[in-house]
Amino acid sequence: MQKGNQLYPKKNEIIGKALSASIGKDNGAMIDTEGFIYAWGFGKEGVIGNKLFDTQSVPTLVGRDDVKLSENSLIVHVDEEYELKVSNQTFNVLKVVEDNSLMTYKSGNESIATISDKGIITGKVPGYVTMLVNKEGTNTTSIVQVTILPEGIDIVPQALTADSHTIILKADGTVWGYGSNKNFELGKADLEPSDIPVQIDFPEGIVIKQIAVADTHNLALDTAGDVWIWGTDSILEFRSAIPTKIEELSKIKRIAANNKQSMALNEDGYLYAWGNNANGELGIGTNEDITTPSIIPYLKDIIDMSLGENHTILLNSSGKIYTSGSNAYGQTAKAEGKSNMFEE
């Protein structure tokens, strides 16, 4: 990697001959004679085109997926079949470049769901299972999280407890809660607790498919990919009994919350985070709080996340685990103390 300034022109040994090249204010891009695009430089707003909102000091191939799946998280019903499609194309301006390597498939639990050598998933009984897709002869793997539900059910019911209240998601997409309401956790303006489930009202037509619960605020993800919040989130400076859409977030497929932290994962595998970051649990490289939903720029292809009280665990599409935050009890599986960057 080149460090410092370069006084005289120097050949770049990483890439081949160029068909064309362009230099921006803080970045560069070129097309080689085979039609592949390489980019480098300041990476804000995704200008490098490699799924990272991060700076790159060396030319990086644009638009490559080794084992790209149609879905990394899906719902299949009992006795239903779903064809998992693999599309391994690399972006090219001159031709279609597709890797037609043979793929192998494996179910983590065939009593819950099977997968054929053609990628056909068949639900057996209700439950959760992970499927592995491997490019034959390589270590390149992608994983699929599969939920098997009874016929006619499309939403996974949840009952989540944090601090002194519980929020429940029913299979019909309605949300209920009981317990403390001193911070509007139950979506009631009277601040009175309830020892029986009370329904939390959303605008007409909104169907919720996932919930997440923190100490004093709650999140809900609807079927359109929008995220709603109610309760009290002091870092976001939000306090309301009425579920309110978070306008900074759209096309979200998964949410998580705990303590005073929240995360949302969008359809492209980018992770948004906000909240308390005193122990580096949000993995942004500092211990400063995040006051608005913000992309963690150096992460890509994330498919799942879990927030502990002071640490966070992420799972990416190839099955790798990343952790950040407090390590007082070894919860990040690192040799040293707490960290503020996600590391494998």
- For residue 226 the two structure tokens come to 């929008």
C-alpha closest to that of 206 among 257, 233, 262, 244: 244
Percent pLDDT > 70 in the chain is 90
Residues of the chain with pLDDT under 70: 1-15, 43-55, 64-67, 88-89
C-alpha closest to that of 273 among 293, 302, 247: 293
pLDDT, residue 147, reads 97
pLDDT tens, position by position, 41-66: 876 655 565 555 566 777 877 876 66
pLDDT, residue 44, reads 63
Rounded-to-integer distance, Cα 50 and Cα 324, Å: 23
As beta bridge partners, residue 149 has 77
Q: Residue 342: is it exposed, middle or buried by C-beta count within 10 angstroms (0-12/13-18/19+)?
A: buried
Sheet holding 120-123, edge to edge: 81-83, 120-123, 113-115
pLDDT, residue 276, reads 96
pLDDT, residue 1, reads 44
Contacts 24+ apart (CB under 8 A), 202-208: 202/175, 202/228, 202/243, 207/155, 207/173, 208/155, 208/169, 208/173, 208/174, 208/175
**Strand, coil or helix: what is 104?**
strand
User: How many residues are present in the chain?
Assistant: 344
